[in-house]
Amino acid sequence: MKIDYLSLKRITRQHADELCKAVNQVVDSGWYLQGKATHDFETAYAQYIGTRHCIGCGNGLDALILIFRAYKELGVLHEGDEVIVPANTYIASILALTENRLTPILIEPNAELQIDSTQIEQAITPKTRAILLVHLYGICAMNDAIRAICRRHKLLLVEDNAQGHGLKWNGLRTGSIGNAAAHSFYPGKNMGAFGDAGCVTTNDEMLANAVQSLGNYGSNHKYVFPYQGLNSRIDEVQAAVIMVKLKYLDADNQRRKTIALRYLEGIKNERITLIRPTNSVFHIFPILCEQRDNLQAFLHQKGIETMVHYPIPPHRQACFKAWNTLKLPITERIAQTELSLPCNQAMTDEEVETVIQAINQWTETY
Ligand SMILES: Cc1ncc(COP(=O)(O)O)c(C=O)c1O
């Protein structure tokens, strides 16, 4: 049996007729940008997330870049301002800050692999203006301490919800708990498009207008340009595709949760550390293992595909040379030991049991 890490073919097949119909409608409409599909999606997703505004854009990185750029244009943030961000994140979170000449302040993770809120306050300086919270692996990174720190220090709270579609905190959807949030609809996400797509959600009308204009060359009315913007818009095909996916998101997340709970119950190998998140949509199911590469090779030989999220942390990348000597031992340890098991709504129970059995069979002498 071959078990893919994630088969997009299978995921698409689950709603193929509906998806093809939605795409065909766009094709037949002759209208491919800034049309009805975009408007319908933005309205539906704002309602789902629970914000007044949703602005579609090209991808999740652009969504983050647009938020911080908009805050700069509005005079809320300035070049050189410091933004607290988890050290254990996908590089896009950091790129959005450096692209805007903001200074990322990297914070080590807690036992759920999310930003350690007990370490935030000591990193705050007079230049700190915001926290960029990342719900990495689909695990909720928000807590009461972060809320209190934001209030106490008057910090903006921006969410990177690229991996957290459908997550809830205190009855609110992530994407609505801070000042603004970025979402990615990269095909492999819990709610994936047929290419790149993303959006910004916020209750802040001024920010929403600035993001909208900045993603449209900086224009708020045709041929009128208050900003030097970029071109980052969602296209009608992607909007129509994710509109279909949105209907199934909660059910898909429930299936992911069932699989994750089965893993948590069934995996009993003392060489493996399981992460037991209190609140997750299980975009990724991470385990930690000192002999990670050996385990990965063993699973591969059994036909089970796994991935590593992520093998090199942002501060160790060549593109951030100045940080290469920073000591972030917890983040570095995660990069050396993390392994992501297949966990998605298209998996069968039999596949899940096969993964559990293989992991329980593994000994490091493989
Ligand atoms: C945490 C995080 N932030 C941002 C992004 C960027 O999203 P995109 O790939 O749509 O640019 C991703 C995903 O790729 C991500 O995982």
User: How does pLDDT run across 19-61, given as a tens digit for each residue?
Assistant: 999 999 999 999 999 999 999 999 999 999 999 999 999 999 9
258 has a pLDDT exceeding 90: yes
**Where residue 1 falls among pLDDT bands split at 50, 70, 90?**
confident
2 is catalytic: no
Atom of ligand 1 nearest to the CA of 197: 10
- Please state, in angstroms and rounded to a whole number, the distance separating the CA atoms of residues 284 and 338: 11
Q: Which atom of ligand 1 is nearest to the CA of 134?
A: 1
What is the rounded CA–CA span in Å between residue 64 and residue 83? 13
Buried b (16+ CB within 10 A) or exposed e, 144-177: eebbebbeeeebbbbbbbbbbbbbebeeebbbbb
97 lines ligand 1 (CB under 6 A): no
59 C-alpha to center of ligand 1: Å? 8
| Ligand 1 pocket residue status of 184, Cβ below 6 Å | yes
- Residue 52 pLDDT: 98
What ligand 1 atom has the least distance to the C-alpha of 89?
A: 1
239: CA distance to ligand 1 center in Å? 17
162 Cα–ligand 1 center, Å: 5
**pLDDT (mean) for 253-268:** 98
Please tell me if the CB atom of residue 67 comes closer than 6 angstroms to any atom of ligand 1.
no
Query: Among 3.40.50.720, 3.90.1150.10, 3.40.50.170, 1.20.1050.140, what is the CATH number of 249-361?
Result: 3.90.1150.10
Mean pLDDT calculated for residue range 143-167: 98
Cite the residue boundaries of each domain of the chain with CATH code 3.40.640.10.
Answer: 8-106+116-243
Outline which parts of the chain fall under CATH 3.90.1150.10: 249-361
The domain 8-106+116-243 having CATH identifier 3.40.640.10: the answer here is yes
Closest by CA position to 10, among listed 355, 358, 342, 364: 342
What pLDDT band is residue 364 in, cutting at 50, 70 and 90? confident
Question: Given this model, what pLDDT does residue 103 score?
Answer: 98
Mean per-residue pLDDT of the chain = 98
Q: Give the residue-averaged pLDDT of 317-322.
A: 98
Give the span between the Cα atoms of 136 and 184, in whole angstroms.
13
Average pLDDT over residues 143-161: 98
| Active-site residue, selected from the candidate residues 72, 154, 189, 327 | 189
Cα 153 to Cα 145: distance, rounded to the nearest angstrom: 12
pLDDT band at 229 (very low <50, low <70, confident <90, very high): very high
Pocket flag, ligand 1, residue 59 (CB < 6 Å): yes
% of the chain surpassing 70 pLDDT? 99
Instruction: Look at residue 365 and tell me whether its pLDDT is greater than 80.
Output: no
**Which of 6, 57, 61, 114, when mutated, tests ligand 1's pocket best, judged by the most ligand atoms within 8 Å of its CB?**
61
Q: What was the pLDDT predicted at 330?
A: 98
pLDDT at 366 over 80: no
